[in-house]
Chains A and B, each alone.
Chain A
């Protein structure tokens, strides 16, 4: 369910996003990295924080945007069949299947999903009737771009290769046959974003816990990749 926020997100959220981005990049600064390599733990935590921040940002943005789309898209219980948004990466997955995936695949799926979603979010701008909504969308896009980088950082810290660039679809969102279907796509984009952010938060929580528990074991760093593979 998408909570409807009555007021659009303010500039404070944008500032916070910037702050988070900066903080996330701090470990990369050699001068500050005096204690040696801290491992993937901090970057997983930062990614988790950013995910939660994006969840919060999306709630505000979706509320405003769905109101622009009008009924029935702004109805709290509106849950139409996912007919016209097949191109969107679906976050809906069976729990058992999901749990069966290893860390690398989960991270790779997250990375690919946000890559596509970012392209769609950028297309939302066409319906932004006000400058305020356009600013909110721009801030959200920046944050989403940061999340992508963060996931890439975690994968790099864990020694996983990034999904090949060729696998990323070279497309842009095509216009829908009707304006109503376009509105439906926008609705599903926001819904999928929310689902993915919720799932990512869970993924990083789990990974964080996994990293934390394995830090006690001396051989964790060597075994962990082997067990994932």
Chain B
């Protein structure tokens, strides 16, 4: 950039240095730019001599301020008629031009132009010297054309009273014979040259529409031109006559009042900023269709209809149209309030617009007519500036008519029927909440069934003020919704709307009530919050406030609880809007109940600090809130565990260890092992061969019969094994006599009786752990049934006539008490001392008599064997 500037400066300096524009005078150098390229031409239509010239290029680049002296001479170069100083600041690409307007037509004679210049720039004060004159340029006239002519040759327009210059060129004729006439008047001329004479006509006047004739006459030869004299008319004062309610006649005077001149006049009529324009060629005009009792401004201007020259100045006046009777009817509405003995009716009306008032309203007439009685009309009047009145009515309906009155007449009466009963019947209508916007409050209502005249919505613009500025709006029967707008509506103000239906009998019925805000604001209250029931993970917030629905700034919907942990934390699922303003972490609980003043906060972190804030909320946002900081306690369960659970656990452990150590003892005491018959040592002693399952009696297959127990003390003396019994125990063996209970039983059951050697009655009865079982020392002897038993057995069998004889003789029952441990100790023998058991095994085993007698003692496994022949009849 700097390089470019430097180059430009060097270039310019070079131009200046190498140009011929510098003149040295003594020790100074002057900037001089002589005029170049001078060009002159004629613009006939404007009678303008167009002069164009230029200077050296460097002068434009320096933006020099220069003065050009332009010398214009007529006919000869010495006859200067104009000497003009033309000052300008040179700009690149801007040509130098000036147009000289000549009174004499430029064609009449030759004009000579020369220009000189001077630098008149503050930067070069020493250069204020004139340059040499440029060469003279000539604009050649028509005087040397040799033709008889008049100039101007074309149509000329001139304003009345002005001067017009003509010239006659004699051409080849003798100039002395030429005469010039303007209309019928010969004008003396000024001779410009041998062939040209200039004639000046002063103060030209309008003569006729076809123009004035100016002509050069040489004998009978005529060269002429038509001069149209333009007239700028002047207007006298406008007079306004015949003013009625809708019409007025305007007349005006045009100066000069030429009979031959036709004027065109423009009329502007305006009122209240609205204007209408009319045109007329007369000097009078009747305005019609005007509004009554309206101030109108009217103004008129005129011009010549033909060959327009100039408009006259506006001439204006104001007037007021006359009054007419008011048109239309008043827009009326009412408020009915019950008072003692009747109702107070406030009647409101809206003043008629000027287009309907048709004049100045003098007063309003109010006619009260009770319905259903003898006609009686009470007429009163209200002041012209009033828009409401109050009337007291009793319990009967009234017909109220209101009309506006001006000096000419009255408007059509507006009628409304008012009855207190209708108002009372609608007291129970519930108020609906509506949401408004800044644009207004949208209301919709259910159409009133039946024929209706329309609907009315009323409200107060300033519901908080004593003078609430009662408003109402009427709607057509087809309208069931509307957006109520008012410039007075403000945010945070609750507006109550009542929607009425109007019957065709002019009765109003309250249909619905609505309430709402254009925009809700936050409540102006501050709940004070305290904490109760503080625990490690929960607490209860309790707050007090003076937040109320009315007359607050929005619909009070409930509370929002802001919980903000100081460190980290997360919100539980009950919270809403977990993102706090400012992107801080926190939780919001919403309590959608204005009556609820407590809230349990759960799932808090123990030993953590939280900020709690309770705010009342509306559709417009939250109210203020007071912040309370709470630190939750340490975990109570830890102490509980330390004090209760740990000692309990310790003692439980000790108990378990102790029990484990003494498990055998406990087991023996409380739940001894059940002896397994398959593992019984008896089986090994009996040396059964074959299926041991057949040797073991399945008790579930037996049907118990009646058992008769007979004590035989002498039997015990015959049993050598009984000597092993404890001396103090009962030694008498038990004989069980099985008596069949029925023939069927005997048929199906092979079991008849059995002998139980292992049981003593005392032992069986007692069942105590102190009883010691008796183990026979001689297995062969021990299995032998006693004789008396066999006898009984045979008797019994013999009584069963249908029992096969082979089977009868082969049955014998052996029961034993096998020690539990014998099954586990295969090498144990019956003579080995066995630990006593609390339980007694009472399963019986059946075996054939022959087999039982020859049971070998083989194998160490105690098994029970029974005869294969008796498998089908185990008993």
Contact = CB atoms under 8 A, between A and B. Distances in A.
Interface of A: 68-73, 75, 79-81, 127, 129, 178-180, 183-184
Nearest to B183: A71
A178 B149 CA distance: 13
B221 A80 contact: yes
Contact of B208 (A68, A72, A180, A184): A68
B181 interface: yes
Given A129-B260, A180-B224, A70 B212 contact: yes
6 contacts: A70-B208, A72-B181, A80-B221, A81-B220, A178-B225, A179-B225
A184 B150 CA distance: 15
A74 to B, nearest CB: 9
Nearest to A67: B208
B295 interface: no
A180 B260 CA distance: 20
Nearest to B217: A72
A70 B214 CA distance: 10
Contacts of B208: 68, 70, 129
B779 interface: no
Contacts of B181: 71-72
A95 B181 CA distance: 37
Contact of A81 (B210, B211, B215, B221): B221
B210 A69 contact: yes
Contacts of B277: none
Interface string B180-222: 0101100000000000000000000001111111010100111
Nearest to B182: A71
Contact of A70 (B207, B217, B220, B221): B207
A129 B206 CA distance: 15
A80 B226 contact: no
A73 B211 CA distance: 13
A204 B220 CA distance: 33
Q: Which 5 A-B pairs have the closest CB atoms?
A: A179-B226, A180-B224, A71-B184, A129-B209, A80-B222
Contact of B155 (A127, A129, A179): A179
Interface of B: 153-155, 181, 183-184, 207-213, 215, 217, 220-222, 224-226, 260
Nearest to A80: B222
A179 B153 contact: no
Nearest to A179: B226
Contacts of B207: 70
B220 A79 contact: yes
Nearest to B184: A71
Nearest to B225: A180
A64 to B, nearest CB: 12
B207 to A, nearest CB: 7
B210 A178 contact: no
B154 A70 contact: no
A80 B213 contact: no
Given A179-B155, A179-B226, A180-B224, A71 B213 contact: yes
A62 to B, nearest CB: 15
A179 B208 CA distance: 14
Nearest to B185: A71
Contacts of A75: 184
Contact of A129 (B153, B210, B212): B210
Nearest to A180: B224
Given A129-B260, A180-B213, A183-B213, A72 B184 contact: yes
Contacts of A81: 220-221
A178 B221 contact: no
Given A71-B181, A72-B181, A72-B184, A179 B220 contact: no
A130 to B, nearest CB: 9
A73 B184 CA distance: 10
B181 to A, nearest CB: 7
Contacts of B210: 68-70, 127, 129, 179, 183
Given A69-B210, A178-B226, 18 more contacts: A68-B209, A70-B183, A70-B207, A70-B208, A70-B213, A72-B217, A72-B222, A72-B224, A73-B213, A80-B221, A81-B220, A129-B209, A178-B154, A180-B226, A183-B210, A183-B224, A183-B226, A184-B222
A83 to B, nearest CB: 8
A72 B207 CA distance: 14
A70 B212 CA distance: 7
A178 B223 CA distance: 11
Contacts of A70: 183, 207-208, 210-213
A178 B222 CA distance: 13
B213 A178 contact: no
A58 B225 CA distance: 26
Contacts of A72: 181, 184, 213, 215, 217, 222, 224
Contacts of A183: 210, 213, 224, 226
B210 to A, nearest CB: 5
Contacts of B211: 70, 179
Given A68-B210, A80-B220, A129-B210, A178 B155 contact: yes
A80 B153 CA distance: 18
A196 B227 CA distance: 32
